Structure 1
Amino acid sequence: MIMTITITQPSRRLPTMTAAGFRRGLVAALPFLLSNGAAGLVMGLTYKGLGLGASHAILFSLLVYSATAQAITLSMWASPLPVAAMVVACIATNSRYLLMGAHLRQLFGGLAPRKILLSLFLLADASWLMTSSDADRNGPDAGYLLGSSIPMAIGWVGGTALAYAAPLATNGPLKLAAALLPTMFIATLLPSQWKNAASPWPWLISAVVALLVSHFVDPSWSMLIGGGCGTLVSMMERTDA
């Protein structure tokens, strides 16, 4: 997984946590009930097709709560399960949250931890971006972070649960959508990562290495090793610049 995150200078205003900020974030994130719900539905149907029970699938979406990490894990699904590769892949994929957390600490470091812990548990890429943008306009408000995170979490976990509650088959068009899920999640990140003519190289190298590892070594490690090589190339490009 290759990702470039650009952080703007955080607001110098004192952090707050207000009901107005919560409402503002909640309303702004309402569309994610549908988009995350649709993605969670496909994810749930994929788990259902693999024979995973409803409680396990819902807990997976709730506790891991990372669309990209879950999609990558699904792409590595095999019998027997490559548990070590899956764990390492999830850690590597979610490592970007260390940078996001560092930025949020700059914004909300003055608040008591108890006020921010739930928001950090529900943190998503979109809620982090929305909160950073809102902080530039209105000052850092932890209420906005919590409010914007809730619809995203409800959509994702609710969509996973709906896949088991609704009488939907795991074959046909939905099966095709589930098979394409890892590619779709990664493809949505590409436009935001495109900056110049050199931008595609890390992705191309990542794809080539992943294919080689899948063919000559083990498919379970292909995405992880390929993503690592692409990330190294991206880091080398910035160093040369």
Structure 2
Amino acid sequence: MSKRYVVPSLTFAGVRQGFWRLLPLSLFVAAFGLAFGLAAVQTGLSTTEIVLMSATVFAGTAQFAALEMWGAQVPVLPLLATTFAINARMLLMGATLYPWLGQMPVGKRYGSLILLSDANWAMTLNDFNQGRVNAGVLVGGGFALWLTWLVGTLVGMAFGSGITNPAAFGLDMVLGCFMLSMALAGRKNLRTIAAWVVGGLAAYAAYRWLPENSHVIVGAAAGGLVGAFWVERQS
């Protein structure tokens, strides 16, 4: 018997709850926004260009990668290929939420994904798997992350010389630790552990020997194959 998925609710109260739940983590995101704002100014982008990039792209690693390739002649195809490789994980993240979001009206379904990022995806998926099917966490949490990223960018443009390298303060570990805590809070059985191990080993191998950023897709695909072929019996 196939698993039945509950249609997620999307209410203002749920969005507000998601905002406040992700706000503490979002404050660390602001530090990276600050570093981006400063780096973008040093690269020579105008105030309008910097604000528009952070407001519409909302992808920290991809934005930093774009700065490294920015110049009088921007290599468009390499830029597109690089940013696609970095953000390709979004395809997989969206797919994991589809069993629930796919039952919502089209407008709400895709509108909920506009501010999709690692942190609000992890919290939403964890909630969904535990029966708390509230799409407001995805929307509100995404808004908290987007807002603090944008504010951080603005502060960095103005006077961000104090934190040029957030990793030096250990801030780069915050999101990783959060993602790990979300994973550990999920289901723990032999099938899940096997998928983690296989995915982790595949990602590490790809990180060492394959092109840059390919480890995300390789690790996810390897872990996903374990889940696909190791089917649990539904009671």
Identify whether the pair has TM-score above 0.5, normalized to the shorter chain.
yes
Shift of 1:145: 1.3
2-side partners of 1:76 and 1:144: how far apart? Answer: 35
List alignment gaps of at least 5 residues for structure 2. 184-195, 230-235
The two structures have a TM-score, normalised by structure 1, of 0.69
Equivalences for residues 12-51 of structure 1 within 5 A: 12-51=5-44
Q: Does 1 or 2 have the higher relative contact order (CA < 8 Å, sep 6+)?
A: 1
Shift of 1:144: 1.8
Q: Report the AA paired with residue 93 of structure 1.
A: I
3-state SS, counterpart of residue 29 of structure 1: helix
Counterpart in the other structure of 1:126:
119
Answer yes or no: is the 8 Å Cα contact 1:10–1:107 preserved in 2.
Answer: no
CA 1:139–1:11 in structure 2 vs 1: closer, same or farther (change >3 Å)?
farther
Shift of 1:138: 3.9
Superposed CA RMSD in Å reads 3.6
Q: Report the AA paired with residue 227 of structure 1.
A: N
2-side partners of 1:123 and 1:235: how far apart? Answer: 17
1-side partners of 2:118 and 2:84: how far apart? Answer: 16
Counterpart in the other structure of 1:82:
75
Counterpart in the other structure of 1:160:
153
Answer yes or no: is the 8 Å Cα contact 2:37–2:50 preserved in 1.
Answer: yes
CA 1:145–1:91 in structure 2 vs 1: closer, same or farther (change >3 Å)?
same
Answer yes or no: is the 8 Å Cα contact 1:76–1:86 preserved in 2.
Answer: yes
Q: Report the AA paired with residue 226 of structure 1.
A: E
Q: Report the AA paired with residue 91 of structure 1.
A: F
Q: 1:201 aligns with which of 200, 205, 208?
A: 205
Counterpart in the other structure of 1:109:
102
Q: Percent identity?
A: 28
Answer yes or no: is the 8 Å Cα contact 2:51–2:153 preserved in 1.
Answer: yes
Shift of 1:43: 0.5
3-state SS, counterpart of residue 155 of structure 2: helix
1-side partners of 2:11 and 2:174: how far apart? Answer: 36
Answer yes or no: is the 8 Å Cα contact 1:37–1:157 preserved in 2.
Answer: yes
List alignment gaps of at least 5 residues for structure 1. 1-8, 207-224
118-127 or 42-51, which deviates more: 118-127
The two structures have a TM-score, normalised by structure 2, of 0.71
1-side partners of 2:125 and 2:96: how far apart? Answer: 9
2-side partners of 1:142 and 1:237: how far apart? Answer: 28
CA-to-partner distance for each residue in 1:192-239, whole Å, 9 max, x for gaps?
Answer: 598479463322224xxxxxxxxxxxxxxxxxx4334x5687589778
